[in-house]
């Protein structure tokens, strides 16, 4: 199983598909696997897969075309980028700074490192 048993799998599914959309592996207006195909492929319960997909439909990342299947929303990539942008500083940068503080790394050191990556 590709999923971590320690947190809700439907959320991991949703995150996985979001990552695929962000990376371009899934293109906008492209059809995604059906929940049954997804379940069979990753060997998980189809209801769990369906819940993950339903979550994505709720968030506007996917949309359903009746009788055909699920597709990536046309504006999904941009929407996800924006979301991730908002959370980037609170979820990624701030914890990094906290860790830096714990182990005694100065902000200047970090800035120098970032300068090298530019």
Partner 1 sequence: MIELRGVSVRYGSTVAVEGVDLDLPTGKIYGLLGRNGSGKTSLLSVLASFRRPSSGKVRVDGQDAFENPAVMRQTCFIRDTLDTNESDKVRALIRFAGWLRPNWDADYAARLLDLFEINPRKRASSLSRGQKSAVGVVLGLAARAPLTILDETYLGMDAVARTAFYRELLDDYLAHPRTIIMSTHLIEEVAGLFERVIIIDRGRLLLHEETDELRGRGVTVTGPAAAVDTFVAGRTVLGEQSLGGVRAVTLDWRPEPAEVSRGEAAGLTFGPVGVQDMFIHLTEATR
Q: Quote the DSSP letter at residue 116.
A: H
**CB 60, CB 73: distance < 8 Å:** yes
Nearest to 14 by CA among 32, 40, 31: 32
Is residue 9 within the footprint of partner 1 (CB under 8 A)? yes
Find the binder of partner 1 among 23, 24, 43, 67 (CB under 8 A). 43
Site string for partner 1, 78-117 (x = CB under 8 A): -----------------x--x-------------------
Contacts 24+ apart (CB under 8 A), 91-94: none
Nearest to 29 by CA among 75, 97, 67, 68: 75
Question: Which of residues 2 and 25 has its CB atom nearest to partner 1 in the complex?
Answer: 2
Q: Measured from the CB of residue 18, what is the shortest distance to partner 1 in angstroms?
A: 17
List, in order, residues 6 or more apart from 32 with CB less than 8 Å away: 17, 26, 38, 53, 62, 69, 70, 71, 72
Find the binder of partner 1 among 36, 60, 86, 109 (CB under 8 A). 36
Is residue 51 within the footprint of partner 1 (CB under 8 A)? yes
Instruction: Compute how many residues bind partner 1; rule: CB under 8 A.
Output: 22
Residues in contact with partner 1 by the rule CB under 8 A: 1, 3-11, 36, 39-40, 43-48, 51, 95, 98
């Amino acid at each position: 199983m590709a999923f971590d048993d320690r947190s809700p799998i439907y959320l991991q599914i949703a995150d996985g598909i979001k990552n695929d959309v962000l990376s371009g592996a899934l293109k906008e207006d492209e059809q995604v696997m059906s929940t049954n195909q997804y379940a069979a492929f990753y060997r998980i319960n189809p209801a769990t897969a369906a819940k993950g997909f339903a979550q994505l439909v709720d968030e506007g990342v996917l949309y359903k075309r009746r009788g055909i299947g699920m597709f990536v929303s046309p504006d999904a990539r941009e929407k996800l980028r924006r979301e991730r942008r908002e959370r980037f500083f609170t979820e990624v940068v701030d914890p990094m700074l906290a860790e830096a503080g714990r182990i005694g790394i100065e902000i200047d050191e970090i800035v120098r490192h970032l300068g090298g990556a530019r």
